[in-house]
Amino acid sequence: MNSEKVFSVLAAVMMVAVVGAVVFTSEYSDADDTPVSNGTMTVNILTSVNGNWVTDTVAAYDGALALSRALANHQWSNDVDTTMYSYPTQYVEIDYSYGAFTTINGITNSGSSTWHTYYFNENDGWVPVTCTLGWYKPFGDYDINHRTANIAVVYGTDSAVSNIMENNAPDVVAEIVSVNDIVGNNNFKVSFYIKVESSAYAMLVSQGKSIIVTGSNVTVQQVLDGVYVSGYGSDFYLALKNAFGTLVNGQEVVPYYDNGNYYTIYGWLNSFLGISSVWMNDGADSSDPYDDVWAWWQEYYYYSVDPNTGNAVGTTSDFAIGLLSPLADAPLTHSTFALYFAAGTM
């Protein structure tokens, strides 16, 4: 199901998004002189409810990578899904089963005995996962219901596994990377280039709309000229939120089925700086809605900036910004991003 493409087409007409701008100048500091550069997770495996826990602590950006690496330590056969995206056609396909598995060390689901997956929630203790493991991460700025540094996989019947997790759950070992270890840490830094193009701005003004920068460290004029802003986060969406707070309005729910019809896209931007997509004109054929001209926040992960106008051109991102991260261990890694509000056609 190509939900990224569906959302990108709809959004080009109906919504818009992007980020705004608080420039952080704080420096990372910690008792340890080495800044955090990745997450750490403990992986607890129980191949039989009558057996003993096998526990590994591994460096990993998410639960999919953590489980795969822990199993590799033991040279156990497995089919952990560690591919988050692919290009089966010209468009990207996001794998929302990222981190799923059916087999560990030759043991697979059989009858009433199956693999069960848990994560440690800081408020509720050990609870069953609601998404596959790739959507769980050990970072303090991430969604609390998918934030964890400890996971467990257990083989057995529903009742036996429930009893194990209630009475013989594994110890909690790894710690979530704190927000204090993220903000100001260059390993988590994202540089955003932000600009509203002049003709698109004129259309906004004509429709009674305005750029909102209240609470940020940038001015409207800087946004019109083009401005670089830094934010810190375990992914690009969270780095934007770090920089702009409530000026960023987006999809903060980690992927799930909505009424069984489609997945939400974590990190999809709905509006930014008070601006969403705006209709410009009918295009060449007034009877054809598909050639209408719109202005929206165009998102580039590779780009260049005209030194005279400040306008940006680049390679449009295939991914909602929540799927991108500045961390080298993430499935999709970048360190900079352009958010350019300008006119275009579908």
| Residue 171 per-residue DSSP state | P
The residue with tokens 């209240």 is 214
Q: Report phi then psi at 3, rounded to 5.
A: -70, -30
Q: How far is CA 171 from the centre of its chain?
A: 28
Q: Report phi then psi at 6, rounded to 5.
A: -60, -45
Cross-strand pairs, 18 = none
- Interatomic CA distance for residues 121 and 152, integer angstroms: 12
Q: How confident is the model at residue 278 (pLDDT cuts 50, 70, 90)?
A: confident
- Say what the pLDDT of residue 265 is: 87
Q: How far is CA 189 from the centre of its chain?
A: 15
Q: How confident is the model at residue 314 (pLDDT cuts 50, 70, 90)?
A: very high
Which pairs with CB-CB distance under 8 Å and at least 24 residues apart come from 287-294?
290/346, 291/345, 291/346, 292/13, 292/345, 292/346, 293/343, 293/344, 293/345, 294/12, 294/13, 294/343, 294/344, 294/345, 294/346
Q: How confident is the model at residue 257 (pLDDT cuts 50, 70, 90)?
A: low
Under a CB-based contact definition with an 8 Å cutoff, are residues 44 and 150 in contact?
A: yes
Handedness of CA 164, 165, 167, 168 (dihedral sign): positive
How many CB atoms neighbour CB 81 within 10 A?
Answer: 18
As given in the structure block, the two tokens for residue 52 are 């003993």
Q: Which domains does the chain have, with CATH numbers?
A: 3-28+182-345 (no CATH), 40-176 (2.170.130.30)
The residue with tokens 């952990």 is 80
- Say what the pLDDT of residue 285 is: 52
- The edge-to-edge listing of strands for the beta sheet with 54-59 is 54-59, 40-46, 150-156, 114-121, 125-128
Question: Taking all residues of the chain, what is their mean pLDDT, rounded to a whole number?
Answer: 87
- Say what the pLDDT of residue 12 is: 36
- Please choose, from the candidates 83, 115, 87, 80, the residue with its C-alpha nearest in 3D space to the C-alpha of residue 96: 83
The residue with tokens 């509000």 is 341
The residue with tokens 């700086």 is 273
- Say what the pLDDT of residue 29 is: 42
- pTM for this structure? 0.87
Q: Above 80 in pLDDT, residue 3?
A: no
Q: Above 80 in pLDDT, residue 27?
A: no
Q: Where are the beta strands (DSSP E) in the chain?
A: 40-46, 54-59, 85-86, 93-94, 103-104, 107-108, 114-121, 125-128, 150-156, 189-196, 227-232, 248-250, 257-258, 262-263, 269-272, 278-281, 293-305, 312-316, 336-345
Under a CB-based contact definition with an 8 Å cutoff, are residues 189 and 145 in contact?
A: no
Q: How confident is the model at residue 148 (pLDDT cuts 50, 70, 90)?
A: very high
Compute the C-alpha angle 225/230/233, nearest 5°.
140
As given in the structure block, the two tokens for residue 220 are 């409207």
- Please choose, from the candidates 194, 190, 335, 341, the residue with its C-alpha nearest in 3D space to the C-alpha of residue 277: 341
3-state secondary structure of 117: strand
The residue with tokens 């199901």 is 1
Picking from 3-12, 165-174, 218-227, which range would have the lowest pLDDT averaged per residue? Answer: 3-12
| Residue 87 per-residue DSSP state | -
